[in-house]
Amino acid sequence: MSCDGPVTVPASVPVTTAAPRPLGVTSEVGPLRTVVLHRPGAELRRLTPRNNDQLLFDGVPWVARAQEEHDAFAAALTDRGVEVLYLDRLLAEVLTSPEAREELVAAAVDDPRLGATLTRAAAAHLADLAPEDLATALMAGLAHHELRGGRGLAYEVMDRHDFVVPPLPNLLFTRDSSVWVGDQVAITSLAMPARHRESTITHAVATHHPRFAGAEQLYDSSLEHLEGGDVLLLAPGVVAVGVGERTTPGGAERLARRVFARGLAQTVLVVPIAQERATMHLDTIATMVDVDAMVMYPAVADTLVAWTVTADTVPDDDDTTDLVVRGPAPFVVAAAEAMGIERLRVIDTGLDPVTAEREQWDDGNNTLALAPRLAVAYERNTVTNAALEAAGIEVVPIAGSELGSGRGGPRCMSCPVWRDPL
């Protein structure tokens, strides 16, 4: 398997297609047809013990092994008929458009640390690069020594280990920087400074790539914080939004109004989660594995609650619809009611508290459903996976020893853009 080379896209995986392809996602478990992944690359090689905390990694990953693990993840999807689109290809392709280039170069140097002289020099450097090289620079950033003829006071004073343009190692987690709700794409507003710029890339791709031509944008990065890892499409018309370290209550409220106004959902469940790194997104504690079943961190299964939000009148405006808020009620009760089912099954992982905490930390609850009762999971979470199998869920195990150092599992590392309706 190639480790460190360029992305090896199987010939059967088109990155640009002439004919429009379906887009849209209405559930977590409808058969997965097309997904956006990001194969980790040069941006991961920027991580050092000095910067990994700030860049939201728990260590310094072995990059070649992380790529190998990621290639195996992608192969597990393509082997099952899923079309994989790679974010770096989509990015390089949109960088042939002058507007996209301008937008992304401007976003890359929009940083008050730089000052006018260095901003100009960095922008000029980037604007000179060919699409592939510019894509690499936008993802891996620009180190101090890479700016030929750099300059000005800020450049001289800057620590040599600092970046003129910081890298984006969390691009790997494509789940967070955009999320499809129905046939519209929400470009998210990422909470952590280390991730802000990611949504400028997903915005440019959604706006300028022919593959996504015509798709309406539901949300944008200037709005209240909202991250895709917090958004779960429990059933057609029912969206759960986690509110915690990343997504704010304001973000959940804004999303609710917009999905109502655009007819994409009739119920939004707002789910408070602990504001901690271990539970940074709702999908770190619960993901769907069947039309009526979730795998959930046992420590929260009994205490998780939800507010049920609906529209008061026929909604027709993005931002002013009156909302009706009920609750809080136990999450499983509120979810079942909104989904119109008798009971939402929570798979009993039967874990002792220590194993449960360890496997939650290692993204045991962060599964990616390929279809009802078929889910990709990290192989290391053996106890959770055995419980899933016992409950009738087929687990597609993948290695994640290096990928996992960024604290994200199969769901975090994937952005479905097309699932068959249930």
Ligand X SMILES: NC(=[NH2+])NCCC[C@H](N)C(=O)O
- Looking at the Cβ atoms of 208 and 407, the one nearer to ligand X is 407
| 283 near ligand X, judged by CB under 6 A | yes
What minimum distance in Å lies between the beta carbon of 56 and ligand X?
Answer: 4
Residue closer to ligand X by CB (options 176, 253) is 176
Q: Smaller CB distance to ligand X: residue 100 or 294?
A: 294
| Single residue of 101, 197, 208, 407 touching ligand X by CB under 6 A | 407
**Cβ nearer to ligand X, comparing 153 with 278:** 278
Which x/- pattern, by CB under 6 A, does the window 53-92 give for ligand X?
---x------------------------------------
**412 in active site:** yes
Q: Which of 172, 412, 413, 417 is catalytic?
A: 412
Of 102-110, 196-204, 263-271, 400-408, the window that binds ligand X (rule: CB under 6 A) is 400-408
The correct pick among 107, 164, 268, 280 for binding ligand X (CB under 6 A) is 280
Q: Which is nearer to ligand X, 105 or 168 (CB)?
A: 168
Contacting ligand X (CB under 6 A), which of 67, 170, 184, 365? 170
Distance set, CA 192 to CA 50, 169, 175, 199, 245 (Å):
18, 13, 15, 12, 9
Q: Least Å distance between CB 128 and ligand X? A: 31
- The pattern of x and - marking residues 177 through 216 that bind ligand X according to CB under 6 A reads ---------------x--x---------------------
The residue number with the shortest CB distance to ligand X is: 229
Residue with smaller CB distance to ligand X, 278 or 390? 278
* Site size with ligand X, rule: CB under 6 A: 16
Among 92, 412, 415, 417, binds ligand X (CB under 6 A): 412
Chosen residue from 406, 410, 414, 416 binding ligand X by CB under 6 A: 406
Shortest distance (Å) from residue 176 CB to ligand X: 5
Q: Does 173 bind ligand X (CB under 6 A)?
A: yes
Applying CB under 6 A, among 182, 229, 364, 400 the residue interacting with ligand X is: 229
Residue 85, beta-bridge partner list: 36
Sign of CA dihedral 140, 146, 150, 154: positive
Residue closer to ligand X, measured from CB, 253 or 283: 283
Q: Which residues bind ligand X (CB under 6 A)?
A: 56, 170, 173, 175-176, 192, 195, 229, 280-281, 283-284, 406-408, 412
Residues noted as catalytic: 412
